[in-house]
Amino acid sequence: MWSPEYSLTGSYEYREECIFAATMFLEPSFHTQRRGWIEVICGSMFSGKTEELIRRLKRVKIAGQSVEIFKPFQDTRYSIDQVVSHDARAILSRPVKHSTEILTVASNIEVIGIDEAQFFDLELKNVCEELALRGHRVIVAGLDMDFRGRPFGPMPDLLAVAEYVTKLHAICSHCGNLATHTYRLIADAETVVLGETDIYEARCRYCYSLGNILDLRQKR
Ligand code: ZN
């Protein structure tokens, strides 16, 4: 696929394949012994974080590896015991109130998925490092910034210690550029207000900086 002959074609299909290969996360493989590591999938809302988490976990299941998935107890937008993405692809998960509960996971579980990691306590970074040292592959998905543009909960610490980081982007609701920020459409001082497109939209850095000026333009 990556031969020089092929790379000289310059075809549309080839370029698409390059983009796909560059963005697709490819797992390292250790054939001689079990090694643990941390992967973080981050980005704004509507960037496809949970879909990417589900994609990796489904591949793991197809390979016959054991998986356990956790999410914070408060994330009950759709379902108590499932990780559910915006496009309704679901996978069973266990809600926990404190990140240290994840350490009770059985030692024979090979892969641990953690969704909505931004809502966990700050201990999550130490929990993930402990799990990786025990030999688990840990895949964490979460918002890197809150609606104020600040690093969200344990995510900055996790991004610092992870072996692999994938930053996904949404599409800006106003200009169509890549979006890195989550803009909240309602006035509410709380950092955590669960909701969907009626409460949040993805924006690029510039459109995010314009704040509610863009809201007013929309209403004209
Ligand atoms: Zn924009």
Ligand 1 centre to CA of 178 (Å) is: 7
**Of 186 and 115, more confident:** 115
Residue among 124, 116, 111, 117 at smallest CA distance from 84: 116
The mean pLDDT of the chain is 83
Residue 141 reports pLDDT greater than 90: yes
DSSP per residue, 50-110: HHHHHHHHHHHHHTT--EEEEEETT--SS-SSEEE-TT--EEE-EEESSGGGGGGS-TT--
**Residues near 120 by beta carbon (within 8 Å), at least 6 away in sequence:** 72, 99, 114, 153, 154
- Write out pLDDT tens, residues 85-134: 555 455 678 899 999 999 999 899 999 999 999 999 999 999 999 999 99
pTM: predicted TM-score of the whole model, two decimal places: 0.81
24 DSSP 8-state letter: S
What is the Å distance from ligand 1's center to 149 Cα? Answer: 15
**How do residues 48-60 score in pLDDT, each as one tens digit?**
999 999 999 999 9
Is 116 one of the annotated active-site residues of the chain? yes
Residue 31 pLDDT exceeds 90: no
Measure 185 CA to ligand 1 centroid, in angstroms: 15
The CA 154 to ligand 1 mean position distance, Å, reads 27
- Give residue 54's pLDDT: 92
Q: How far is the CA of 170 from the centre of ligand 1 (A)?
A: 11
Q: Which of 5, 116, 190, 201 is catalytic?
A: 116
Provide CB contacts within 8 A for 111, sequence distance 6+. Answer: 57, 60, 65, 66, 67, 68, 136, 137, 138, 139
pLDDT at residue 6, as a whole number: 40
What 3-state class would DSSP assign to 184?
A: strand
- Residue 1: the pLDDT is 39
The bridge status of strand 200-203 relative to strand 181-184 is: antiparallel
Provide the strand spans (E) within the chain.
Answer: 37-43, 67-72, 82-84, 90-92, 94-96, 111-114, 137-143, 164-168, 170-171, 178-179, 181-184, 200-203
Name which residue leads in pLDDT, 78 or 45.
45
Taking residue 19's Cβ as centre, other Cβ atoms within 10 Å add up to: 10
Structural domains of the chain sorted by starting position, each given as residue range(s) with its CATH number in brackets = 26-168 (3.40.50.300)
Residue 203 C-alpha to ligand 1 middle, in angstroms? 5
Mean pLDDT of 54-70: 93
Q: Residue 62: which region, alpha, beta or left (left: phi > 0; alpha: psi -120 to 50)?
A: alpha
pLDDT at residue number 190: 67
What local confidence, expressed as pLDDT, does residue 199 receive? Answer: 87
